[in-house]
Structure 1
Amino acid sequence: MNKLQSLLIIGIVSIGIIFVSSSSDQLVDAGSRKKIHFTETITSSQDPGQGHENHQLALILSPNEGTIYDGSMTFTSSEPVQIIVLHEISSQESKGQPTWTVDGKTIYGLSLIDLQKNSGSFEFTGAALALHSPNSKKFTSTVSLDGWIRGQPTDVIMQKIEFEKDESSYLLSRTNVPATIPMHKGIYEGNQIHYIITDGSDKNYAKTISDKQEWNVEFAPVLADVPEKALQKLYVFKNGVKGNGIYGFQNEVFSSTPSQKSEYSALNSIVEVTWKVGQKEIEFKSAADVIAAEEGGRVKFNETGIVLNTPQIIWPDGQMKVRSDKEISDEMSYSGGQITEINKEEMTVTFVAHRGWGPDGRTIYYIVTDATPSGPAETMGVASSPSSANLITHSGAVDLFQFKNGITGSGPLGFQAGIAGASLGDANYSPMWRIYLVEWNDEKSAKILETRSDIDSFSKEDKLSVSIARPTNSDHIVNCPFIDPFQ
């Protein structure tokens, strides 16, 4: 019996005992779904994974073919630890990504969250969950876990648990959570704008802004190739009048707002502006003034080619809708607004972050800031951005699959949560999403799907249909930046 088998049996037996004493039945999908809730103290042992022989591993949820865990975990540990989530992948998918294996045959995708802390909280979806230390010193951790298990993990557990099936409903844990994001001040035609920065096409630029605002700007390299028709220009100042701009000078100048409906885009092409020596420096109030100064030889432009996602929250004659109901719950609707609070004193805005799945089943959270056409934008309470339609066939937008029928759940159409075609860190990640609708041909056969390959598999079997969403017969693009709401 190899090390992995020994480790898994220990983990399985302990989980079985915990389930017997503390599990409570919840919503169960067609693949057998049970509630997990326990607090347990675990001592680490040698990590059996290849290349991890000098590491320590404390297994919390054991891997087993076809089993998916989903929930939240809080832990304290005697030593600083990392969090490991394993994901079932095929041999073809194992290339080009971190993996974990004992024998080189059964290979798991590996997500390693390098906390190096003695305590923390974490949301997860995956085939296994563990705490990990990159050194050989044993550690002891107390873990509290709340979530669900899908599938049939072991005979040990199945013999000791009874549960009911409910094939009509499905809710993730912490489906909707608050995400408080720092705001910046900008200028349009002499008036003030409040906006956020969520994504950037250049890694160094994104890091610079992340450090300045103390909130992550995600790297989205595909934005660098977005067509000009989907962009506006944002003027960023590298010298001149001191202020709170990105480089410590005057606030950024925008070329449009959501009130210019045919022009507005949250995607901005960055133009760096530098005053020439000997010129009298002033604070610019409009894009026209900046352009005139460049044409007059007073400043010079650097067309960086960098694109930032900078959704506007407040503009001269409008703002994003604030929800009348401030309570964020798992069952709340997508309609009525995406914001619960705008705090001008603290310069923050609190969004509702929605939970879904990445292409490989990993947990993702996203906010909604703008959309096209205007109908869905108004329903969700976000800005309308018709120029985003220019991305409908472009790689600057990624596929996001929403469910039109099937298992009732937390998705925007009232069914299960959506599945994205990319996650943070993927080379094709973008905050701009091209929406596809997934419809079960026979609702009675509907199951919970958690990965892109799930959709492809059932589509090939002709059990569901996938079609591009075209509300009011229009191209449909939604700006849904993926974020970490717990940072």
Structure 2
Amino acid sequence: MKKLSALLLIGIFVTGIIFVSSTSDQFVDAGSRKKIHFTQTITSSQDPGQGHENHQLALILSPNMGTIYDGSMTFTSSEPVQIAVLHEINSQESKGQPIWTVDGKTIYGLSLINLQQNSGSFEFTGAALALHSPNSKEFTTTVSVDGWIRGQPTEVIMQKIELQKEEPSQLLSRTNVPATIPMHKGIYEGNQVLYIITDGSDEDYAKTITEKQKWNVELAPVIANVPKNTLQKLFVFKNGVEGDGLYGFQNDVFSSTPSQESKYSALSSIVEVTWKVGQKEIEFKSAADVIAAEKGGRVKFNETGVVLNTPQITWPDGQMMIRSDKEISDEMSYSGGQITEINEEEMTVTFVAHRGWGPDGRTIYYIVTDATPSGPAKSMGVVSSPSSANLIAHSGAVDLFQFKNGITGSGPLGFQAGIAGASLGDANYSPMWRIYLVEWNDIESAKILETKSDIDSFRADNLLSVTIARPTNSDHIVNCPFIDPFQ
């Protein structure tokens, strides 16, 4: 396995941006602090931080041990960017908070302000300052900084960090591909919802919807038994006013949308609604209206026990994030959104489908639609669904193993692709995934793993460790339906 030894200048912007004490009109000695004031144009380069290999970074003020910067910055950029501020901490202080590190030894706390704007102003205090893009596309930015350096040493110094970095020797072909999925129309509180159906707990339901939408609905029997507090209700109509519903009648009615974040779930419990003979049929606009009609004896309910995975794409006051970089490539980041297009004329949505391995080493592709907690959901550009946390210890969620170090590759953390605990067609398959992190105890021992038994074997030999992911000390569940993107 080839190694690439690189000297990374953390002061990426080279000598032009650094004005040392010889330039007396820009640095004014004030005892234990010095004035800093400059305007400079910087071109970004690959972020050297672990887990950020597919991101871009323009470092403005580099870290110096024992110093802290404070002041204000104004910037304009060729691409939408985030503001990154680093804070000096030791590894014992990290305790689940977001961190940034090049070598895993020197650790910084990371404040990432997700402006996603091309220009702005910002007041900062921290050990380093940078502009960051979760995409791999290079950007150019012009920044003006006015502030102070406090502590020792009170100079802006270009630090050199030596990094032993694996070459991208495990970049899979067709790592990311487009997946165009048909959308359905629904209703919430009188307004339109557009949603997709990827999985169903009942074989007959899955077949019926597959034939209707001409796109495979995968069978996932285990989601039929998930806790009720993980579900919302979806009312589908067996007769009444004609429309675009699952049975050819009025549009299906949802009990919540992502705007009702504490209640929303992509997993829907199906309630079939039938008008009774002699009743005047109307189009229902809300779940409350449907429930009132049932209580009034106008319609009857069939609580089917069927659960469908119905992620919402648009809803009355929002929609899923569309990527600014719509070109799907093997090197693209997981951040910044999972959708490249919502086409309401064709009633389709195009997701980025990510490649990985099933438990037996077979290729799988999956999309990402929602997650909990909100931090990872926001980073990936998907819907936040706190109710999914109720699956953390339930068989309705399956284990998905992602690598946090080792061989550089196309996984979401910048290393090799992940390995799932189930594949399509398996009895335990579910679109809901409980994330585990795999970490090599000695990076020099890292190898490409392709099966769940590979992980178990190397773990038994104490060559790697496996821990459940708990970002911000929270239960972490991701809705990642496995799909065939080539159908």
Q: Please report the TM-score for the alignment, with normalisation by the length of structure 1.
A: 0.66
Q: Do structure 1's residue 254 and structure 2's residue 263 form an aligned pair?
A: no
Shift >6 Å, 4+ stretches: none
Distance in 2 separating the partners of 1:273 and 1:443: 57
SS in 2 for 1:371: strand
Distance in 1 separating the partners of 2:403 and 2:251: 42
Distance in 1 separating the partners of 2:475 and 2:271: 29
8 Å contact 2:357–2:364 — kept in the other structure? Answer: yes
1:199 equivalent in structure 2: 199
The residue type equivalent to 2:434 in the other structure is: R
Matches within 5 A, 1:425-440: 425-440=425-440
Matches within 5 A, 1:297-376: 297-376=297-376
8 Å contact 2:173–2:330 — kept in the other structure? Answer: yes
Distance in 2 separating the partners of 1:169 and 1:466: 23
Distance in 2 separating the partners of 1:453 and 1:338: 30
Q: Cα deviation per residue 1:391-432 (whole Å; 9 max; x = unaligned)? A: 000000000000000001100001000000000000000000
The residue type equivalent to 1:422 in the other structure is: A
The residue type equivalent to 1:303 in the other structure is: E
Distance in 1 separating the partners of 2:2 and 2:344: 43
Q: Cα deviation per residue 1:8-40 (whole Å; 9 max; x = unaligned)? A: xxxxxxxxxxxxxxxxxxx989xxxxxxxxxxx
CA shift at 1:197, angstroms? 0.2
Distance in 2 separating the partners of 1:438 and 1:445: 13
Aligned identity (percent) is: 86
1:278 equivalent in structure 2: 278
Matches within 5 A, 1:447-486: 447-486=447-486
The residue type equivalent to 2:470 in the other structure is: R
- Judging by fraction of residues, say which structure has more helix: 1
SS in 2 for 1:223: helix
8 Å contact 1:336–1:379 — kept in the other structure? Answer: yes
Matches within 5 A, 1:391-470: 391-470=391-470
Distance in 2 separating the partners of 1:224 and 1:194: 23
Q: Cα deviation per residue 1:318-341 (whole Å; 9 max; x = unaligned)? A: 100000011000000000000000
8 Å contact 2:371–2:377 — kept in the other structure? Answer: yes
Distance in 2 separating the partners of 1:340 and 1:356: 20
Distance in 1 separating the partners of 2:221 and 2:436: 23
1:186 equivalent in structure 2: 186
The residue type equivalent to 1:453 in the other structure is: S
Distance in 1 separating the partners of 2:222 and 2:291: 28
Distance in 2 separating the partners of 1:253 and 1:436: 35
8 Å contact 1:28–1:170 — kept in the other structure? Answer: no
SS in 2 for 1:208: helix
CA shift at 1:437, angstroms? 0.2
CA shift at 1:169, angstroms? 3.0
8 Å contact 2:404–2:438 — kept in the other structure? Answer: yes
Distance in 2 separating the partners of 1:312 and 1:168: 35
Segment drifting more, 166-175 vs 215-224:
166-175
8 Å contact 1:397–1:433 — kept in the other structure? Answer: yes
2:233 equivalent in structure 1: 233
Q: Do structure 1's residue 269 and structure 2's residue 290 form an aligned pair?
A: no
Larger Rg: 2
The residue type equivalent to 1:349 in the other structure is: V
CA shift at 1:168, angstroms? 5.8
Q: Cα deviation per residue 1:49-75 (whole Å; 9 max; x = unaligned)? A: xxxxxxxxxxxxxxxxxxxxxxxxxxx
8 Å contact 2:167–2:408 — kept in the other structure? Answer: no
SS in 2 for 1:444: helix
Q: Which runs of 5+ in 1 are unaligned?
A: 1-26, 30-165
CA shift at 1:170, angstroms? 1.1
8 Å contact 1:402–1:418 — kept in the other structure? Answer: yes
1:157 equivalent in structure 2: none
Matches within 5 A, 1:130-149: none
SS in 1 for 2:475: coil
SS in 2 for 1:269: strand
Distance in 2 separating the partners of 1:193 and 1:168: 41
2:17 equivalent in structure 1: none
Q: Cα deviation per residue 1:100-150 (whole Å; 9 max; x = unaligned)? A: xxxxxxxxxxxxxxxxxxxxxxxxxxxxxxxxxxxxxxxxxxxxxxxxxxx
Distance in 1 separating the partners of 2:324 and 2:348: 18
Q: Do structure 1's residue 243 and structure 2's residue 214 form an aligned pair?
A: no
SS in 1 for 2:294: helix
SS in 2 for 1:260: coil
The residue type equivalent to 1:319 in the other structure is: Q
Distance in 2 separating the partners of 1:291 and 1:370: 28
SS in 2 for 1:436: strand
Distance in 2 separating the partners of 1:281 and 1:329: 50
1:211 equivalent in structure 2: 211
Distance in 2 separating the partners of 1:28 and 1:207: 49
CA shift at 1:167, angstroms? 6.5
Distance in 2 separating the partners of 1:318 and 1:382: 12
Distance in 2 separating the partners of 1:331 and 1:294: 52
Matches within 5 A, 1:48-87: none
Q: Cα deviation per residue 1:179-201 (whole Å; 9 max; x = unaligned)? A: 00000010000010000000000
Distance in 1 separating the partners of 2:408 and 2:240: 56
8 Å contact 1:168–1:406 — kept in the other structure? Answer: no
The residue type equivalent to 1:312 in the other structure is: Q
The residue type equivalent to 1:477 in the other structure is: I
Q: Cα deviation per residue 1:435-461 (whole Å; 9 max; x = unaligned)? A: 000000011110000000000000000
Distance in 2 separating the partners of 1:246 and 1:426: 26
SS in 1 for 2:485: coil
Distance in 2 separating the partners of 1:344 and 1:184: 10
Distance in 2 separating the partners of 1:308 and 1:168: 38
Distance in 2 separating the partners of 1:456 and 1:194: 41
8 Å contact 1:272–1:301 — kept in the other structure? Answer: yes
1:87 equivalent in structure 2: none
Matches within 5 A, 1:113-128: none
